[in-house]
């Protein structure tokens, strides 16, 4: 039987949706109309309020949750279907954010570098991450025993997670077109200040909230999918049997 969401959970999820929607809207308003243009990048700097927050969700949050959940599933003491479902949900939502990271990065790169794409260390390692995420999603679709699927997906997620530090440190390890970190740099001293820094911070918070809502709903979808797994087959078999009886 399916356990429905309690009223409290429904209320929390709805509140999360409204708060994330309002905070994303505020980020867009501040980013497009309130913050000043940059001395070097002029108006193009406005893309800083969406591109890094989306990348933060894709790389660190979504992948971090998927990797930790996979690890906890693999560890026999903490093994639970919850971790497998959470990893699956986080990886799917993260894939959307990684694709957006590449698209918004290309849109920013065209006027800044003169090209949509370059085989640069940061860009290439991020593209590889997207391929690995798509591979993980393909692994999940292979039919078979749920436990075997959970095991191969958990191992796949941990192998893919090796690419995350490579993406992060790529701007330090190699000479790249991509600029260094603005906030999480080696000195931990942000190179952005005032309202621009606050808007960027709000961008990080609002996209994190949007991710939290998507993750919650996607997790629920995973629970319902597991519940309904094989139900279609049951119905088809019952219909066949009833046809046979006639």
Partner 1 sequence: MSYIDAGYGIALAVLSGYAVQLWWRRRRLEQLAARADIADLAEIAEVADVADVAGLPDVEVSR
The minimum distance between CB 129 and partner 1, in angstroms, equals 17
The minimum distance between CB 204 and partner 1, in angstroms, equals 14
**Residue of 67, 92, 84 lying closest to 163 (CA atoms):** 67
**How many Å is the Cα radius of gyration of the chain?**
21
Spatial distance between the Cα atoms of 223 and 230, rounded to a whole number of angstroms: 14
SS (H, E, C) 31-88: HHHHCCCECCCEHHHHHHHCHHHHHHHHHHHHHHHHHHHHHHHHCCCCCCHHHHHHHH
The minimum distance between CB 20 and partner 1, in angstroms, equals 9
Provide the binding-site residues for partner 1, judged by CB under 8 A: 1-2, 4, 24, 28, 31-32, 43-44, 46-47, 50-51, 54, 93, 96, 99-100, 103-104, 107-108, 110-111, 210, 213-214, 217-218, 220-221, 224-225, 227-228, 231
The runs of H, that is alpha helices, within the chain are: 7-29, 51-56, 63-74, 81-113, 121-141, 146-161, 163-173, 194-228, 231-245
Half-sphere exposure of 168 (CA within 13 A, CB side): 15
The minimum distance between CB 4 and partner 1, in angstroms, equals 8
DSSP structure class, residue 188: -
Sorted by sequence, the CB contacts under 8 Å of residue 191 that are 6+ apart come out as: 182, 185
Spatial distance between the Cα atoms of 8 and 214, rounded to a whole number of angstroms: 18
- Residue closer to partner 1 (CB basis): 191 or 225: 225
Contact (CB, 8 A) for 61 and 199: no
Half-sphere exposure of 111 (CA within 13 A, CB side): 10
The minimum distance between CB 33 and partner 1, in angstroms, equals 11
The minimum distance between CB 110 and partner 1, in angstroms, equals 6
The minimum distance between CB 6 and partner 1, in angstroms, equals 14
């Amino acid at each position: 039987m399916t356990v429905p969401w309690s009223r409290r959970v429904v209320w929390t999820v709805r509140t999360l949706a409204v708060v994330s929607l309002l905070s994303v809207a505020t980020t867009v308003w501040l980013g497009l109309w309130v913050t000043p243009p940059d001395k070097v990048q002029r108006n193009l700097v406005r893309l800083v309020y969406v591109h890094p927050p989306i990348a933060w969700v894709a790389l660190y949050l979504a992948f971090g949750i998927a990797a930790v959940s996979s690890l906890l599933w693999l560890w026999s003491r903490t093994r639970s279907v919850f971790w497998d479902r959470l990893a699956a949900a986080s990886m799917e939502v993260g894939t959307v954010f990684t694709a957006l990271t590449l698209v918004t990065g290309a849109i920013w790169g065209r006027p800044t570098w003169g090209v949509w794409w370059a085989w640069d260390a940061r860009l290439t390692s991020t593209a590889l991450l997207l391929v690995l995420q798509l591979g993980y999603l393909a692994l999940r679709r292979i039919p078979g025993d749920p436990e075997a699927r959970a095991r191969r997906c958990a191992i796949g997620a941990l192998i893919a997670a090796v690419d995350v530090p490579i993406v992060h440190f790529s701007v330090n390890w190699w000479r790249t077109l991509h600029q260094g970190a603005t906030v999480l740099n080696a000195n931990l001293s942000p190179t952005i200040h005032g309202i621009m820094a606050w808007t960027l911070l709000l961008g990080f918070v609002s996209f994190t909230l949007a991710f939290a809502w998507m993750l919650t709903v996607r997790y629920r979808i995973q629970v319902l999918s597991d519940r309904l797994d094989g139900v279609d087959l049951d119905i088809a078999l019952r219909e066949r049997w009833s046809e046979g009886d006639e």
